Structure 1
C-alpha cells in the first residue's frame, strides 16, 4: 500500500499554507510524511507546488485534473501510486495515530474504500482507496460531482465505526484538523497538555 498526503488545498480559511504550519517543532507536512514513512513502503505528496516540498525527499505530484478538489487529489494519487491501494490523509492533521491507520490497512482487503465514521460523519480524508475507484472517481469529476462520498454508492465501501476507532484512538484526536487559526490554537493547547502529562509520568 502507498501512503499519500493531500497538500493541494488553498488553505483559504487559515490564510496561509497549512502544510507549512510549525507544530511541536516540525512543519505539519514533515510530521505527516514521517508518520507515513514508518508505515508504508512508498509515500507521495499531491501538491501543485512541488519545489516547496522537494526537501522532504518524496515524490511530489501535481493534480492531473486541475480544480477538482480533494477528489482530484485522490484520483491523482491513485493514478501515480505503485501499489493497488493507498491510504490518503490531509496535510493538516497534527495528531495522526499510527494504530488507527494500521486498523484501516488491516480492513482494506477486498474493499474499494475503507473509511472511518466519527460522530455520524464519514472521514474521507483519512481513508483507504483502491485503484478500482479510478473509473468511478473520473466519472464523478467529469460530471462535476466533487464531493468525495458521492461516488461511494457505486463502490464496495467498508465503514469503520466509532467503537472500533476509539479502541485505538480514545479521544479521536487522529481526525482533528486545523482549518482555522482558532483550531490551531486548540491543537496547540492539546499538545501542551499532552507534553505536561508526559513530563508528569516521567518525573
Structure 2
C-alpha cells in the first residue's frame, strides 16, 4: 500500500479508467490545481470543454504516457475522488503559487521522476509528457517552449531537485520561472504549439 503523507487515496473501481502500467520509465504524474480560478468565475478544473472537465485532459495525458501514479495537487479533494484511481495531494503552501504545488508534488512522489501539468491545458497529449521524459536525461528539469518561453508548469523533474527547490522557496522566491533559472534545465520545441494552449478565462476556451 502506498504511504503518502498529505494524500487521500481516491475511490477505486473494478474497471480502472487510468491504468498505471509504466513500461519504459517509472514516473509520477501530478496535475497542479491550486489556482484561485477567479477569472473563470468557478473552479477551473471542473469547467467543461468539449465534453470533458479541463482537469481530465491533463489526467488523461499522464495516464496515456503510462504514469505509475497520478495525483491532483491542491484544490478540492472531491475533484480527485470523482476520477477513478487518482490520488489527492494537499498543497503544502496554499496561496503561494504553483512553485509550492510543485514542491508538494515532489515531496509525495514515489518515483525518481515527476511530470507536472497545469489543470487548464486544452489539448495537451501523452506525447508531450513522453517528450519531457525523453529529453530530461541528466538534467534536473525539462519543459517545452512556446514562442521561446519556457512552459515551466508542463515539465519533467528529477525528484532529487526537491531539496534545491525547497531552499529556493525558503529564500522567498515564489516564481517558478525564477526558480528554474537556478536549475539545469533542458527545453524542446513541440510540433504543434496549439497542444500547449491554456485558458484563464471562459472566452479563451473558444478562441
How far the C-alpha of 1:107 sits from its partner, in A, is 1.1
Cα deviation per residue 1:8-35 (whole Å; 9 max; x = unaligned)?
1101221211110111212112232122
Q: Please name the residue that 1:69 is paired with.
A: 97
Tell me, yes or no, if the aligned pair for 2:34 and 2:94 is still in contact at 8 Å: no
1:17 aligns with 2:38: no
1:45 aligns with 2:66: no
How far the C-alpha of 1:111 sits from its partner, in A, is 1.2
Q: Which TM-score applies when normalising by structure 2?
A: 0.81
How far the C-alpha of 1:48 sits from its partner, in A, is 3.6
Unaligned ranges ≥5, structure 2: 1-26
1:119 aligns with 2:140: no
Q: Please name the residue that 2:197 is paired with.
A: 176
Q: Which TM-score applies when normalising by structure 1?
A: 0.82
Runs of 4+ in 1 over 6 A off after TM superposition: none
Tell me, yes or no, if the aligned pair for 2:35 and 2:75 is still in contact at 8 Å: no
Cα deviation per residue 1:113-159 (whole Å; 9 max; x = unaligned)?
00222212110011111112212221222122111121224322112
Give the 3-state SS of the residue equivalent to 2:163 in structure 1: helix
1:140 aligns with 2:168: yes
Tell me, yes or no, if the aligned pair for 1:136 and 1:154 is still in contact at 8 Å: no
Tell me, yes or no, if the aligned pair for 1:113 and 1:130 is still in contact at 8 Å: yes
Give the 3-state SS of the residue equivalent to 1:107 in structure 2: helix
Once residues 59 and 36 of structure 2 are traced to their aligned partners in structure 1, the CA distance between those partners, rounded to angstroms, is 19
Cα deviation per residue 1:77-129 (whole Å; 9 max; x = unaligned)?
01111111111000000101222221111112211100222212110011111
1:94 aligns with 2:122: yes
Once residues 64 and 73 of structure 1 are traced to their aligned partners in structure 2, the CA distance between those partners, rounded to angstroms, is 7
Tell me, yes or no, if the aligned pair for 1:136 and 1:151 is still in contact at 8 Å: no
Once residues 67 and 25 of structure 1 are traced to their aligned partners in structure 2, the CA distance between those partners, rounded to angstroms, is 30
Answer with 1 or 2: which has the greater Rg: 1
Once residues 123 and 62 of structure 2 are traced to their aligned partners in structure 1, the CA distance between those partners, rounded to angstroms, is 13
Once residues 11 and 27 of structure 1 are traced to their aligned partners in structure 2, the CA distance between those partners, rounded to angstroms, is 14
Give the 3-state SS of the residue equivalent to 2:157 in structure 1: strand
Tell me, yes or no, if the aligned pair for 1:75 and 1:138 is still in contact at 8 Å: yes
1:32 to 42, 58, 67: 58
